[in-house]
Amino acid sequence: MRNTRNFWIEAKVDGRKSTIGTGPRQRLGGFKLNVLMRDHGAVTTALMVKGHANEDGTLTLLASTPTSDTLKVQTER
């Protein structure tokens, strides 16, 4: 595992030789990730994921779709 800060994102995509990996540069950094896909020819956001650091030292990860409730995961830094 990499030396991660608050969050680390890895993606494996067909047709790419290497894994895509990234994370926030700052100690208190977060991220926003949208997964887009086609729906009857139109592009739509299928999944939204947000991660952020809280002032109390916890980390929060939120995942949601346009038609569902939000899943929340909270951990200690």
Q: Would 2 be classed as within a structural domain? A: no
Q: Are 66 and 44 in contact (CB under 8 A)?
A: yes
Which residue carries 């994921």 as its tokens?
49
Q: Is the pLDDT of residue 1 over 60?
A: no
Q: Would 68 be classed as within a structural domain? A: yes
Number of domains the chain is built from:
1
Q: Would 29 be classed as within a structural domain? A: yes
Which residues sit opposite 61 in a β-bridge? Answer: 51, 73
Q: Would 3 be classed as within a structural domain? A: no
Which residue carries 């020819």 as its tokens?
41
**pTM assigned to the model:** 0.83
CB neighbour list of residue 66: distance below 8 Å, 6 or more residues apart: 44, 45, 46
Q: Would 21 be classed as within a structural domain? A: yes
Distance, in Å, from the CA atom of 32 to the CA atom of 10, rounded to the nearest integer, reads 14
Q: Would 49 be classed as within a structural domain? A: yes
Distance, in Å, from the CA atom of 36 to the CA atom of 48, rounded to the nearest integer, reads 9
Residue range 14-73, pLDDT digits in tens = 999 999 999 898 888 899 999 999 999 999 999 999 999 999 989 999 999 988 889 999
- Give the range of the structural domain holding residue 54, as residue numbers without chain letter: 9-76
